[in-house]
Amino acid sequence: MEFDILYQHRDFIIIYKPCGVSVHKDQETIGLTTQLANQLGVAQVWLVHRLDKITSGLLILALNAESAAEFSRLFAEHQIHKTYLALSHQKPKKKQGLIVGDMKKARNGAWKLCQSKENPAITRFESISCEPNLRLFFLKPQTGKTHQLRVAMKSLGSPILGDALYGKNSAEVDRTYLHAARLEFEFHGEKFDVKVIPKEGECWQRESVIAKINENHFFGKGKIPV
């Protein structure tokens, strides 16, 4: 597999990670970082953050140890701002706002959102109706907890379309509809704003969905209210 490189800097690259590709080696003969190093003709690349196997979209990889350390700091200090797109068949309890709560382990590898807020997961969201029984969500995680966005969507009563762990009737859906669409950050005094639309999934190709993505703040035509 050759990965699409969306941005190449002397210290890092940003690639498109397809849905279904793990950032870890799993059972594959060659892991993602080794494949990328081979593709670039370099000895090593550094994984500085992660996307779930089911999630497509933007992934940063450092090209040297120094930039890997800098990105680790930026992520730890929440200086890298991420926007995700998601689809759901279910109308949420509210159309926009904040989802805040502690996350605790549940059964079968799942997590659940609690009412307590000692070390909460925080997600800002907005949703738009695309067509009957199909809503587009813009998700901005303020923290980086495991399964945070998937749990947040379930807590709204709008599990992500195709999410086998947190939703229903996923067998008939061609993918889990969660996509890392935008990264905004500053690196060594230079500002970066990288965006990509999802490539895999029949529902992402629907005209109603494409129209709502294009007319909204994903492309800088508006701003999620604070």
Q: What is the pLDDT of residue 26?
A: 67
For residue 220, is it within any domain?
no
pLDDT digits (tens, 9 = 90+) for 97-108: 999 999 999 988
For the entire predicted model, the pTM comes to 0.92
Give, rounded to a whole angstrom, the gap between the first and last alpha carbons of the chain.
40
For residue 156, is it within any domain?
yes
pLDDT digits (tens, 9 = 90+) for 133-156: 999 999 999 998 999 999 999 999
For residue 190, is it within any domain?
yes
Active site amino acids: 52
For residue 111, is it within any domain?
yes
For residue 63, is it within any domain?
yes
How far apart, in whole angstroms, are the C-alpha atoms of residue 152 and residue 99?
6
Domain holding 195: CATH number?
A: 3.30.2350.10
For residue 221, is it within any domain?
no
User: Residue 211 belongs to what domain range?
Assistant: 4-215
For residue 27, is it within any domain?
yes
Domain tally for the chain? 1
Residues in the chain with pLDDT values less than 70? 26-29, 169-171, 217-226
